Amino acid sequence: MANATWRFSDSAEKAMQDAATIAQKYHHTLVWPVHLALALLGPLPGNSPFDSLPQSHFLKLIALAHGDLQIFQNALIQTIVGLPSNKLPPKHVIRSGDLERVLSQANSCRITQNETLVAIEHLISGILRDGDVQAALQVAYTPRSKINSIHIAIDESENRISKLSKSNVAVVAFVTDTSLAAKRMVDPVIGRDEEIRRLITVLSRRKNNNAILVGESGIGKTSIINGLVQCIVKGDVPTHLMGCKMLFLNGCALLAGADFQDESFEKPIREVLNATHDHEAMTSIFLDDLHLLLGNPNGVSSEDDRVHFLRSLIFKKELHHCIATTTPTDYQTLTEKSPAFLSKFVMIPVEQPNIRETLSILRGLKHRYETSHGFAIADSALFETAALAAEYFPSQSLPRSAIELVNKTTAIIATTRDSGLEELKRMEKEKSQLVTKITYLELRMNNPCSYIEKARTELSGLEKMIKSLSESHDILLSIRRDLHQQTARLEEFRSIHAKGELEGNVPGAADTLHDLILETQAHIDKAKLREEEAVSDVSKHMKDPSTKLFFANRVGPAQVRQIVRELTG
């Protein structure tokens, strides 16, 4: 699929190969723009077992333009099915004239942007000009002008980021802007209001306004910083902290340059500060695991030099604020070795939450897990999780051990519910054994006997049970896929409603959104009733009680206990 005059990026080359594969799948000798469009779209959310993988850029564009992804995908497939095809899949495929024109337009975009390789965004720019793709977009209620404007806006934003990246390599390599993470709706921070309030109080001081959070690993020190950032984004902070940029310094990445540690420690921080000096908002740097950052694993740079460098930045006010985290043991070590440096920080102790507090944290995260996996989680299951995590995983601190157990439990249950039924596998094995037995008896006996007739009757009944269970299971999976999609859709509508991201020039937009929320909720309620009936039909055929546990509509303490039993033996 490569062209001698065009060089593709790795992702663009993969898209071209996927387009060729799609053409062969439908027995097409020519690769058309619609093949490439389907390849660029990728799997839709909820239709793939790999939903945790990043979604394609093209899919995100259509979603941002509020297009119907399913209708768009179906329209592309309908167009592909209508193309001339062969009886057998061809061994080799070639590009159609229309696809050559699309690639030529993509290459023009590359030249305009002064890029070396034809990338995904260039292919999208070209594909949006194809007539069949435009027709599919129109069917999906997504006019080309709207998606094109969003595409251009994103390209301009990425170009600005690219220019910044080239001039400030350290900013990209060693720093994450945590305010962006907050705007992308990171998990809510529950039960740390007191620590967040104390942190805001320290940052509001005129002098000595740097903080260090001290607590054991896994108790949620970093989540407190996330809570602070969310408060800044929402404006729930004093006036002078509004708009403050919080930069997370990746100490592990800094220390990765072992051969040049003197340079890898100081130079990136200098570049970060220089890059942010142009911003009117104050800048705060978050140093996670300060003891690792100040460590000396290879003996190239002395710890005293690093402490002196950070202390000079704080003393000269080149940093507005510095927030760090460490463990009690390492804090004691730093106190003994660098008391003058730590005197610039206010220590905020972070205690391990008890089971009741951990339960509150899990309740705050429950909605995220329910939306992600498509099943309800009972509060009693969360309490059981917190209690069992404290009892059976004492080497880890709460709430990390409880959150990890929730992750494992929900993942195992989701995988079990959506994979093939063990009961079906057992029946299929029993059927195979019966067929083998009947064949053997027929070969050994000239005249059929009552034993063979009995085996045939048993086989006939088993085949009916397999068919019935298989059909019920397929219906259940279909309902659950629909529930997953509709729940995700409802969350998107609610998120838009909460953020007020409505187009001001669209009359009645708020009423329309409210109607869509009610309509989607009603659809979900009906789907849940159908799910209960389907679960009942499937459960009737199950003999193993433990298997029935994972097909319930609601996750309870029994499932959690079963998972812990499997994990711990």
- 181 is a domain residue: yes
Give dist(CA 143, CA 123) in Å, integer. Answer: 18
The rounded radius of gyration (Å) of the Cα atoms in the chain is: 30
Tokens found for residue 361:
């944290």
Contact (CB, 8 A) for 271 and 172: no
Q: Comparing C-alpha atoms, which of 412, 430, 432, 451 is closest to residue 565?
A: 412
Q: Looking at the predicted structure, is the pLDDT value of residue 17 above 80?
A: yes
Residue with tokens 């420690």: 265
Q: What SS3 class is residue 379?
A: helix
Verify that 95 and 244 share a domain, yes or no.
no
Q: What SS3 class is residue 346?
A: strand
Q: Looking at the predicted structure, is the pLDDT value of residue 347 above 90?
A: yes
Q: Looking at the predicted structure, is the pLDDT value of residue 168 above 50?
A: no
351 burial type by CB count under 10 A (0-12 exposed, 13-18 middle, 19+ buried):
exposed
Q: Which of 3-17, 20-34, 322-336, 401-415 has the lowest mean pLDDT?
A: 3-17
Verify that 154 and 183 share a domain, yes or no.
no
- 428 is a domain residue: yes
Verify that 343 and 375 share a domain, yes or no.
no
**What is the mean predicted confidence (pLDDT) over 437-451?**
74
Q: Which of 174-188, 403-417, 451-465, 533-547 has the lowest mean pLDDT?
A: 174-188
> For residue 531, what pLDDT is reported?
84
Owning domain of residue 295: 173-349
500 burial type by CB count under 10 A (0-12 exposed, 13-18 middle, 19+ buried):
exposed
Verify that 213 and 314 share a domain, yes or no.
yes
Verify that 272 and 323 share a domain, yes or no.
yes
Q: Looking at the predicted structure, is the pLDDT value of residue 528 above 70?
A: yes
Residue 247 neighbours by CB distance under 10 Å: 23
Count of structural domains within the chain: 3
Give dist(CA 180, CA 222) in Å, integer. Answer: 15
Residue with tokens 């054991």: 216
Q: How many helices (H) and strands (E) does the chain have?
A: 26, 10
Choose between 555 and 181: higher pLDDT.
Answer: 555
- 60 is a domain residue: yes
Tokens found for residue 414:
């989701």
> For residue 532, what pLDDT is reported?
83
Q: Looking at the predicted structure, is the pLDDT value of residue 240 above 70?
A: yes
Among 133, 167, 201, the domain boundary falls at: 167
Verify that 163 and 194 share a domain, yes or no.
no
Chain segment 33-57, per-residue pLDDT in tens: 999 999 998 876 544 333 333 467 7
Among 120, 151, 167, the domain boundary falls at: 167
Angle between helix 33-41 and helix 120-127 axes, rounded to 10 deg? 130
The identity of residue 232, as a single letter, is I
Choose between 358 and 499: higher pLDDT.
Answer: 358
Residue 229 neighbours by CB distance under 10 Å: 25
Verify that 110 and 189 share a domain, yes or no.
no
DSSP state of 128: T
| Terminal-residue alpha carbon distance, the chain | 52
Tokens found for residue 512:
């329309």
> For residue 519, what pLDDT is reported?
85
Verify that 131 and 117 share a domain, yes or no.
yes
CA atoms within a 13 Å half-sphere pointing along the CA-CB vector of 52 = 5
- 536 is a domain residue: yes
Give dist(CA 122, CA 286) in Å, integer. Answer: 37
Residue 258 neighbours by CB distance under 10 Å: 12
Verify that 364 and 509 share a domain, yes or no.
yes
Q: Which of 163-177, 390-404, 407-421 has the lowest mean pLDDT?
A: 163-177
Backbone angles phi, psi at 348, to 5 degrees: -115, 110
**Sign, Cα dihedral of 416, 417, 419, 424:** positive
Cα 147 → chain centroid:
23
Tokens found for residue 240:
């002078």
**What is the mean predicted confidence (pLDDT) over 234-239?**
82
DSSP per-residue letters across 201-248: HHHT-SSS-EEEEE--TTSSHHHHHHHHHHHHHHT-S-GGGTT-EEEE
**What is the mean predicted confidence (pLDDT) over 498-504?**
49
Backbone angles phi, psi at 249, to 5 degrees: -90, 120
**What is the mean predicted confidence (pLDDT) over 288-314?**
63
- 1 is a domain residue: no
> For residue 35, what pLDDT is reported?
93
Give dist(CA 382, CA 560) in Å, integer. Answer: 9
Confidence at 155, pLDDT banded by 50, 70, 90: low
Verify that 305 and 413 share a domain, yes or no.
no
Q: Looking at the predicted structure, is the pLDDT value of residue 31 above 50?
A: yes
Q: What percent of the chain has pLDDT over 90?
A: 11
Q: Looking at the predicted structure, is the pLDDT value of residue 192 above 50?
A: yes
Tokens found for residue 298:
């290879």
Among 139, 167, 195, the domain boundary falls at: 167
Angle between helix 450-499 and helix 400-418 axes, rounded to 10 deg? 130
Q: Looking at the predicted structure, is the pLDDT value of residue 352 above 80?
A: yes
Residue with tokens 């440096």: 341
What are the residue ranges of helices labelled H in 374-508? 379-392, 400-418, 422-444, 450-499
Q: Which of 132-141, 278-287, 435-444, 515-524 has the lowest mean pLDDT?
A: 278-287
Residues sharing a CB contact under 8 Å with residue 90, sequence separation 6 or more, in sequence order: 24, 27, 28, 29
Verify that 318 and 408 share a domain, yes or no.
no
- 3 is a domain residue: no
DSSP state of 21: H
Q: What SS3 class is residue 377?
A: strand
- 366 is a domain residue: yes
Q: What SS3 class is residue 542?
A: coil
**What is the mean predicted confidence (pLDDT) over 77-85?**
85
Average pLDDT, the chain: 76
The identity of residue 484, as a single letter, is H
Which CATH number do you get for residue 32? 1.10.1780.10
Verify that 192 and 111 share a domain, yes or no.
no
- 2 is a domain residue: no
Give dist(CA 350, CA 211) in Å, integer. Answer: 12
Tokens found for residue 351:
């205690």
Which CATH number do you get for residue 366? 3.40.50.300
> For residue 48, what pLDDT is reported?
36
